[in-house]
Structures are given as structure tokens and as C-alpha cells.
Amino acid sequence: MAKGRILIEESLCKGCELCTTVCPKDLIAMAHDRFTPKGYHPAILLDPEGQCTGCAICSVICPEAAITVYRWVPAAAAA
């Protein structure tokens, strides 16, 4: 299971592709098969092998604050 995951809010994404250029594991891609309501191709997490660590680097570069980053941590640590 992946250590982390991201959720990209497509209503905010403008398809600028910056997140795709900074992910250390190259897990973000542009969804060229569809458009957001504003007419952009949204970015999506493509992580079939569960490699996302929730490092949040993508959220640092995102100009739209469209990315929420999650990480699985030991329950004790989260408490």
C-alpha cells in the first residue's frame, strides 16, 4: 500500500503541469482524455504501484492550492 496519496481538486486545477515536473517519483500525469469545467486538462495521480510517500512537494509548487496530501502514519504518532 502506498505511504501517501494526493487528491487534486479538479475544479481548481488549471493544467499548468508544474506538479508533474517536481514529483520525485514521477507519479503525476495530465489527463488528456478529459477537461475540467474551465476547459483545462487536469493533473492526476497515477500510482498503480503505491509509490507515493506523501512528501507534499507537489503541493508546494501548485499555484492553485489544488492538492491535498495524505500520509499513512502509525496511529500512535497521529494521536
Partner 1 sequence: MSALTETVVYRRPESLVPIHTHYCPGCTHGVAHRLVAEVIDELGIRPITIGVAPVGCAVFAYNYFNLDFAEAAHGRAPAMATGLKRASPDRIVFTYQGDGDLASIGAAEILHAAGRGENLTTIFINNAIYGMTGGQMAPTTLPGQRTTSTPTGRDVEFHGLPLKMCEVLSQLDGSAYIVRRSLHDVPNIRRAKKAIRTAFEVQQQGLGFSMVELLSSCPTNWGLTPRESLDWIRDHMLPAFPPGDYRVHPALAERGATRRADGAGGALDGGG
Using CB under 8 A, list all residues that contact partner 1. 4, 9, 11-12, 14-18, 21-22, 38, 40, 54, 56-57, 59-76, 78
- Residue nearer to partner 1 on the CB measure, 46 or 71: 71
- Residue nearer to partner 1 on the CB measure, 25 or 72: 72
Contact 45, 6 (CB under 8 A): yes
3-state DSSP call for residue 49?
Answer: coil
Instruction: Say which residues have a Cβ less than 8 Å from residue 16's Cβ, sequence separation at least 6.
Output: 63, 64
- Residue nearer to partner 1 on the CB measure, 39 or 48: 39
